[in-house]
Amino acid sequence: MKVAVALSLISLAVAVPPKRPPSPVLSEDFNNFKNPNNFNKMNNFAPPAQRPPSPALSDAGTQPAPLQPATPIPANIQGLDASFSVKCGKSTVLGEDIHRAISLGVSLDRQRTQLARFPHDYSNYENFKFRHKNCNRNNGLHRREMAIVKGEYFNGRWEDVKRFRAIFLHDPSSPVDQNGRPSAIYCGTIYHPRGTNAFNGCDVRKLESRVAV
């Protein structure tokens, strides 16, 4: 009898295997990972890769360009005494302002650049007789015109170029002097009388002939 009961229990154990605990629930996409489409879907659940921050911009890229270059080295200007002033109609232009204008013009010429179209060639259509003989030669080669501003360097504002001009000679390829200063020759100062586009002379006069020199 005991043998029969034991055999019966063994047969039941073989017929009904023990149950495993259920696995954690996985999505169908994950269970079917062998399907390429489902594998791509799984990648969509991954957090996006974080891009490293952009490098900081340089100062040159974030700062506005200056209107004018750095303060130029004062030029060695032949024929100009910066302690004197000139009369332009009813206005007075200080020699130090003329000196600043020419120094800036020389600096820009040596950099092969301009500031609001200055300096530029001066053709002398008004036929002025300039103070230095070299300013009246060679059809005006290297004879330049630069805006004069009271008490400061010209910074490119067009409202500052309406009236007074310094005329000078400078060869940008010329060497500097023993003190590192570029050289120039002062030709004279001219101006626009108010309400006109013509030039009058301050310390230069017009010749009778109207042929440009």
Token pair of 41 as six digits: 């879907």
Q: What is the mean pLDDT of residues 60-66?
A: 38
For residue 107, give the amino acid letter: S
Cα–Cα distance, 162 to 94 (Å, whole number): 17
Burial class (CB in 10 A: 0-12, 13-18, 19+), 95: middle
- pTM value surpassing 0.75: no
List the domains of the chain with CATH numbers. 89-206 (3.10.450.30)
Token pair 């010429």 is found at 109
Token pair 């594998």 is found at 39
Q: What is the mean pLDDT of residues 11-24?
A: 52
pLDDT tens digit string along 100-109?
999 999 999 9
Token pair 């007789």 is found at 129
pLDDT tens digit string along 113-133?
999 999 999 999 999 999 899
Token pair 């009369």 is found at 87
Q: Sorting pLDDT into bands at 50, 70 and 90, what band is 91?
A: very high
Check residues 96 and 141 and name the one with the higher pLDDT.
96
